[in-house]
Amino acid sequence: MTAVQERTWTTVCRVEDLLVGRGVAALLPAGDQVAVFRTRDGLHVLSNHDPFSCAAVLSRGIVGDRGGVPVVVSPVYKQAFELATGRCVDDADVAVATYPVEVWDGYVRVGSP
Ligand code: FES
């Protein structure tokens, strides 16, 4: 028999508290620091940890696009990460974790990976 691990959801804030094109940092119960972004297309959640600078800063990155693909650019060394996949646009060997996100009764909830 295979054990099925339940996903846990953490309520972060109200959707209306998030500005379009900006990120906020949140701490999940398991200790993960995440960066929550609201764009015109919806919500995206990545690890807040920038693997190039080893700093928890991606929530403070600049949201934009590279060739039409929505990205966040680290405020430290300026590498860009795709909001949808976490892939680093500047280094194909690097990616940051992404997290499921949903809106529940007007609140943003982030799921365990
Ligand atoms: S602390 Fe350096 S990559 Fe995470």
Residues 11-64 pLDDT 10s? 999 999 999 999 999 999 999 999 999 999 999 999 999 999 999 999 999 999
Statement: residue 2 has pLDDT above 90:
no
Q: Are strands 49-50 and 55-56 parallel, antiparallel or unpaired?
A: antiparallel
Whose CA is closest to atom 2 on ligand 1? 54
Contact between residue 93 and residue 86 where contact means Cβ atoms under 8 Å apart:
no
Residues in a beta bridge with 3: none
Give the ligand 1 atom nearest the CA of 52.
Answer: 3
Ligand 1 center to 51 CA (angstroms): 5
- What 3-state class would DSSP assign to 16? helix
Whose CA is closest to atom 4 on ligand 1? 54
